[in-house]
Every structure is written in structure tokens, then in C-alpha cells.
Amino acid sequence: MTEESEAEGRRSTRYLIRVPVQVGFGEHVLALQSQNVSFDGIFVRCGALPKVGTEVSVRMRLPFGFGDVALTGNVVHVILPSNAVGRVPGMGIGWGPDQEPTRERWRGFVEKLVACYEALDTAAMVKLVDDIGVDVRYNVRREFALKVRFRDVDSLSAVYTRDISVGGIFLMTDEVFSVGQLLELDVVHPRTGASFPVRGAIRWQGEKSARPGVGVELIEMNEAQRDAFWKFVSNGDIGPLR
């Protein structure tokens, strides 16, 4: 992986953090809570969701002493409560252009959060669980375009991921699946051509950034296999499977 692609992957990685957030759109102002953040936006837990593309304002007090910020952006994807099996319902907001120097403070806040995550060893990361008991690593998602081959669906040869985490992947596809349906998959790395076999369960079907697809939870993997999978995603080294 090149330095440029590593930097881009780091920018698109989302980091779990829960802080109060005030979101305004139209005549509505909602007191909500964040689920995760990235350098370019925020995902907010919410049941009453505006449409994708809606312009919103966001106000929040940043941790680590970065103070109050007010930013504007657009809703880039939503997870509806009716379609949130295995996921947190809410909306992903991408920040609009410019907005300096506020964006500079936002970047400083995320850099500090990244440093906190990177300082944790594996044992500490496993123990770091949020208030609903979700392993933090499962919420750290990175945007990767990886080919995925279906080993047990004859009508599909391959699809591509939009984002991926230790705990699951989003597959871009127009095909209709059933929630709970089990899939045998081979994830193919674009640089090395190596493949990593996984088993998944469909947890939701909908859209991300106006692209249809399905959210797949990776199942029946022990800690060593999950660590090997994340290493494979990061650099294409399949390594030993135990």
C-alpha cells in the first residue's frame, strides 16, 4: 500500500466516540448523540431521519479541550430504524467545503482521537467496549474497493465492497437478499490478487451514498482470524489461518 493510499484510508476510517450533538435541518433542531467520526464527517444516532442530500447544521463541544464547533454539511447516507438489523440507525453527515478555521480544529480533535486509538494494544482494544457492548474495532470502518466472489450464489460472479471493518462489509449490489441469509465469500485483494475466505450473514439491505447494497456481518471467526483478516485488508497478506 502506498503512502498516499495509506493516508487516504486513514482519513476515511471512522472512530467510535459518543458525544452530545445538536443537528438542525429545516425547522427542526434535534439533540442527538454521535456514533463515530472521521476527518470528513460524523455519523449521528437518530430515528427521525432527513433525506440523503439534505443540508444540515451541526453544533457540538469537542472533547480534549478543542471547544465548541458549528459546522454545516449534507446527509450522505442514512440507516433507517426499519432497516437497521445489526446496525445503529442514524445519518452520516459529510462536511461542506472550506469552513476554516473550524475544520482545522475538527481535524485536530480527530487526530487526538486517532492517537488515543493507536496507543492501545490489542488487549486494551478488546476491552474497550461502548455503552451498548459493541467491540470498538467493529465500528472502525475503512473505505476499500475489494472484489468479493460468492461461492454459493450461482447467479452472482463478483461484487465490490464500499467499506469494510473487522466485523463486517458493505457490498454494492442490486441483488435482493433476505435478512439473515448466510453467504460463503472470497474477499480478493486488488493489489496482490490473494483471496480470504469468510462466512457472512446479511444484516440489512439499503443504500449508502445513494448506492444500493447489503450490510454483511462476518461470522464464525475467532480473534486470530479477525486479526488476520484485517491484516489482509490492509496489505494483502493472507497469512496463516487458525
pLDDT at position 122, please?
A: 52
Classify 24 as helix, strand or coil: strand
For residues 64 and 107, the answer to whether their CB atoms sit within 8 Å is no
Classify 234 as helix, strand or coil: helix
Over the chain (242 residues), the average pLDDT of each successive run of 10 is 42 77 90 90 86 94 90 90 67 93 94 79 49 44 79 70 77 84 88 87 77 83 79 66 42
The whole-angstrom separation of Cα 23 and Cα 60 is 9
The whole-angstrom separation of Cα 190 and Cα 168 is 18
Burial code (b: 16+ CB inside 10 Å, e: under 16) for 85-97 equals: eebbbbbbbebee
pLDDT at position 129, please?
A: 38
pLDDT at position 39, please?
A: 93
Give the H or E element holding residue 111. helix 102-118
pLDDT at position 49, please?
A: 80
68 forms bridges with which residues in the sheet? Answer: 61
The whole-angstrom separation of Cα 72 and Cα 51 is 16
Q: What is the model's pTM?
A: 0.53
**In the chain, what are the domains?**
3-127 (2.40.10.220), 141-235 (2.40.10.220)
pLDDT at position 8, please?
A: 43
